[in-house]
């Protein structure tokens, strides 16, 4: 084991973000990270190892969820960081922002049932090619909460077909025993997609909240596995 420096994590705070502190706590407790909260109107991310776009309701979700946040000054820095291969994790509203910004494919529609859904879901890990799933087995089922009204992810059929061939589907909604179908999908997303990555695999977005299932006190620790996987990936990269 190398004595690596603590990872630096930038948590972006938009007007209306409300899971930024939860993400920061998860990064501190699980990654032992040096966390910098970066305001939407700042440009300096602080040379991070990981950027988290947290959940919430940036700009009140006016127009479309994430539509205004993508034009925040900080997003230029996030896009540049992602283009250099930096690890970016978008959670819930963060996922919506990444789609609106074009850093991830597809777009969000209103939940198929038109209701805001706030409950635990089960996710099947579909790809190990991201830093957040590299240390998790494909097919593993994780439990964590969702809380959103616009999580019905969709994409044009040719785009989606291309994504599948490039292994860009990272998480799918399943039942507790890992099967697709039935009431497992809380929002009607295309092919039960819960989380995706970009072509390179360094930018990941998911609707469920791993940071809200990252401590036994919160009722579950499956979400912590994404952060632990990131830590493992980072150490492996450093030792290379």
Partner 1 sequence: MTVLVKVMLKSGVLDPQGKAIADALHRLSYTSVSDVRAGKLFRIEVDTADPRHAVEVGTQMAAKLLANPVIEDFEIALETASAAGGSR
Mind telling me the catalytic residues?
Answer: 92, 209, 211
114 lies in the site for partner 1, by CB under 8 A: yes
Which tokens belong to 219?
A: 């009722």
Write down the least CB distance from residue 85 to partner 1, Å.
25
Name which position in 61, 100, 126, 211 contacts partner 1 (CB under 8 A): 100
109 is a site residue for partner 1 (CB under 8 A): yes
Phi, psi torsion values for 85, nearest 5 degrees: 95, 5
175, with CB counted inside 10 A (0-12, 13-18, 19+), is middle
154 vs 233, which CB is nearer to partner 1? Answer: 154
Q: How far is 112 from 129, CA to CA, in rounded Å?
A: 29
Residue nearer to partner 1 on the CB measure, 68 or 147: 68
Question: Which of 17, 77, 93, 111 is in the footprint of partner 1 by CB under 8 A?
Answer: 111
- Token couple for 13: 């705070």
Residue 232 burial by CB count (10 A; 0-12/13-18/19+): exposed, middle or buried? middle
Tokens of 142: 């994780």
Q: Is residue 16 involved in binding partner 1 (CB under 8 A)?
A: no
Kindly list the residues in this chain that would bind partner 1 in the complex (CB under 8 A).
63-64, 67-68, 71, 99-100, 106-107, 109-114, 152, 154-156, 188
């Amino acid at each position: 084991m190398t004595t690596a420096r603590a990872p630096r994590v930038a948590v972006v705070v938009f007007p209306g973000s409300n899971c930024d502190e939860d993400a920061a706590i998860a990064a501190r407790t699980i990654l032992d990270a040096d966390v910098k909260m970066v305001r939407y109107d700042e440009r300096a991310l602080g040379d991070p190892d990981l950027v988290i776009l947290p959940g919430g309701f940036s700009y009140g979700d006016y127009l479309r969820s994430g539509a205004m946040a993508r034009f925040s000054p900080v997003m230029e820095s996030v896009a540049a960081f992602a283009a250099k291969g930096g690890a970016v994790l978008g959670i819930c509203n963060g996922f919506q922002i990444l789609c609106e910004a074009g850093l991830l494919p597809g777009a969000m529609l209103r939940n198929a049932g038109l209701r805001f859904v706030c409950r635990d879901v089960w996710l099947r890990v579909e790809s190990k090619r991201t830093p957040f799933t590299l240390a998790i087995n494909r097919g593993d089922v994780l439990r964590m909460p969702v809380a959103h009204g616009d999580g019905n992810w969709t994409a044009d059929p040719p785009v989606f077909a291309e994504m599948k061939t490039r292994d860009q589907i990272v998480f799918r909604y399943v039942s507790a025993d890992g099967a697709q179908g039935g009431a497992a999908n809380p929002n009607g997303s295309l092919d039960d997609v819960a989380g995706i990555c970009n072509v390179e695999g360094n930018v990941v977005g998911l609707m469920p909240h791993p940071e809200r299932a990252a401590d036994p006190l919160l009722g579950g620790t499956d979400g912590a596995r994404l952060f632990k996987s990131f830590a493992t990936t980072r150490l492996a990269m450093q030792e290379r």
